[in-house]
Structure 1
């Protein structure tokens, strides 16, 4: 299953679900910046480019796309239908062509069965268009996690395509079995019905069915003489006047009947199901609630005042309930975006087993190697704490947030991260607004696998004041 529209919808929906845990101000700044970047590059900010931008911010360690798991699940469903269809097609044709030498194979039964297959194919497509899901409870039993409400609307057309693919394999296996049986056995065909039907009326029915191919293969369109010569009754299977040589002349008609009215409709409806999936995915993406919010954020300039109240007379709210706590003991220090250059204070550098660098001008490959190296160190230590050193005068960036989110995929659970914004001058305390921006950042990121800490370093080298947030 390689539908780009379906993958785009699944990835966008998964990203929208993740964004629900982000602050609206952060989302606005991120998406507005993306729109301005696209404007500078003279390209349209499409959902596909937006997802590529988000994946780029996540870095190379972001893992597999969210759509991969769902698509693999439906690939298994398609494969199951195709295998089952092949087996049932083989067994069904063997049953229809069963011949013990005493009674002929009734063409009427085969015509009725093909008509039944055509009816099933049409009903499958109608069911998908109507959105009816009688098998929904069965799908839930095989899913490890529930589908999103948006993707649930796609399930009828996805299941319709799986059923049509199974029908295609059923018809192909049946046709192949028919041709093999024609070569290996001397099949005897005839026609019969309990109703009072003469040969001319039956020939009219057969001629109407054979209309699509009669001009291409005249031998596959039985004439009236063949219809009259191959009718049999319950008590006259071996009656005089029968021509056994003509009993096998029905097989071209049977082959074309099966190909035209069983195989081709399934192929056409399977292709139609693929078209419906892509069309439905595009419609759901365009009407997705998160898409409307994304377009608004990209078109509206971001204005961050820090005021979370509706009363215009209130001053901007820049305080947070988080408080500074003592600097925790840690053997690993990570300097972010050049923080600590040219050298770290002794309180941070002494007694450390690993001092690494990431972010800033360093490459994404270097960041990935740093994450891996720290993960190996943490696995060998009892106390899992990492001090992340930043610059207090620089605002927190989305790159740092993405880096810490990436760390969740690599570092052991329970790892504690201490954010340490260094003061501008070693003899002065950082300004309050600088500390507050990092406290708000620590509150916002709130990763589940870590205890986020924040420690400003200032004063003399021996004077360390700071803390962590539980």
Structure 2
């Protein structure tokens, strides 16, 4: 399934921000490996493929980003509001108590106002103007750099406004047709300006030109214009009262052509412009240029070109590996070792100790639920991960949230494994990147542990 350009831009921007915590050598090795894999498969590297490569267990769809869900929720609330306003507006325009005709001039003026508002909404999106200031902008701490979503807010607001206006005009037109059926409406025209019937006929016929041959009854004649002119003061002789109802086809086509149709086209244009703007921002993103450079530039290393699993680590961190403590709970990160339940139970101090799942396809709410489930305890927690997958910003955020909810003295044991079925220890090179990751967290009670030779012995030792 092809990813929506807006979601792709936000996912790429988030990943670039998370990568700022990684070393340049690590990023180069990871991204160059993906480019070589694409070259071997005969395909071009892409941003979407790169994201799937570094996040294999998370496949973001179009509607998964919670920031976009906020905009969609806002649009969902404004659609019925626009529909109700359209109904009330048309009821006001067509209010008729029998004492005077419904003025066609007022309806033409209101349709012209709709056109001006539609044009203003489109222009503000094209020029990137945000007249609402920071009303729709999320609150950020001082010094925080703007995100990719900030640059898309004019286009997102235009989509929301055009969709609400489309609902407004469409339900107003449906109200008009309903009133035509259930009431005997009398239309006429009047204006304070000294306008002759000939001039007014030229105006309404110019407006009706698009449907002149499609619906001749909706094309006002000079006779109709002359017979339906009224004045605020004085009595108007009505020779043929039925002629006052002959305006409704013109009013219907006027509203449909100059109010509903432009809003429909501009709503579609707003969505296309949003996608175009997202693609443009992705092409111009500073992180993409750096990513392309890492794709195309070979990694220069001073070690032999052998498989990573048999190589020694280039630089070992100062902290040594720890023995796995007797854990009272275990968290499988991103579905690690899902099919190795007996071996996982052997890592715990008690056979009935709880095992949780977090990261990967789990939502943020589910991750928070895992953290809260383990809050209030002080026993060690084992966090099982895949050693060959580099530590992500998502994992760093999870550990940060866990440390805020748990005691600072609580031991968190990071256990990277090199194989899942059966469980196998990680290579020294793989463990080195996890040790560097633990050092960057600046948490003395975050240990990188080695897989025990006998998991049953760990439980007995506890």
Tell me the TM-score normalised to structure 2 length. Answer: 0.75
Q: Give the 3 Å change call, closer, same or farther, for CA 92–448 of structure 1 in structure 2.
A: farther
Q: Is the 8 A contact 2:200 2:225 kept in 1?
A: yes
Is the partner of 1:453 in helix, strand or coil?
strand
Equivalent in the alignment of 1:442: 435
Q: Distance in 1 between matches of 2:140 and 2:239?
A: 60
Residue deviations 1:350-398 (CA, integer Å, cap 9, x gap): 9943599x9xxxxx99xxxxx9xx999967964124397x9xxxxx944
Q: Distance in 1 between matches of 2:327 and 2:3?
A: 48
Equivalent residues in 2 for 1:68-467 (5 A)? 68-140=65-137, 148-237=146-235, 239-304=236-301, 318=315, 320=317, 322-324=318-320, 329-331=325-327, 352-353=349-350, 382-386=378-382, 397-399=387-389, 401=391, 405=395, 408=398, 413=406, 416-418=411-413, 438=431, 441-445=434-438, 446-447=440-441, 451-454=445-448
Deviation, structure 1 residue 413: 4.3
Q: Is the 8 A contact 1:3 1:278 kept in 2?
A: no
Query: What's the C-alpha RMSD, in Å, of the aligned pairs?
Result: 4.3
Deviation, structure 1 residue 441: 3.6
Q: Give the 3 Å change call, closer, same or farther, for CA 140–381 of structure 1 in structure 2.
A: closer
Deviation, structure 1 residue 187: 0.5
Deviation, structure 1 residue 22: 1.6
Equivalent in the alignment of 2:424: none
The gaps in structure 2 that reach 5 residues or longer are 304-312, 338-342, 362-366, 418-426, 453-462
Q: Is the 8 A contact 1:413 1:450 kept in 2?
A: no
Q: Distance in 2 between matches of 1:144 and 1:65?
A: 28
Q: Is the 8 A contact 1:10 1:66 kept in 2?
A: no
Q: Is the 8 A contact 1:442 1:452 kept in 2?
A: no
Q: Is the 8 A contact 1:333 1:386 kept in 2?
A: yes
Q: Give the 3 Å change call, closer, same or farther, for CA 92–420 of structure 1 in structure 2.
A: closer
Deviation, structure 1 residue 75: 0.6
Aligned residue pairs total: 404
Equivalent in the alignment of 2:458: none
Equivalent in the alignment of 2:456: none
Equivalent in the alignment of 2:422: none
Q: Give the 3 Å change call, closer, same or farther, for CA 421–22 of structure 1 in structure 2.
A: closer
Tell me the TM-score normalised to structure 1 length. Answer: 0.73
Q: Give the 3 Å change call, closer, same or farther, for CA 65–450 of structure 1 in structure 2.
A: farther
Deviation, structure 1 residue 406: 8.9
Q: Is the 8 A contact 1:417 1:452 kept in 2?
A: yes
Is the partner of 1:154 in helix, strand or coil?
helix
Q: Distance in 2 between matches of 1:319 and 1:63?
A: 35
Q: Distance in 1 between matches of 2:348 and 2:255?
A: 80
Deviation, structure 1 residue 160: 0.9
Equivalent in the alignment of 1:51: 51
Q: Is the 8 A contact 2:3 2:48 kept in 1?
A: no
Equivalent in the alignment of 1:4: 4
The gaps in structure 1 that reach 5 residues or longer are 307-315, 339-343, 359-363, 366-370, 391-395, 423-433, 459-470
Q: Is the 8 A contact 1:405 1:447 kept in 2?
A: no
The structure number with the bigger radius of gyration is: 1
Q: Which moved more, 1:16-25 or 1:327-336?
A: 327-336
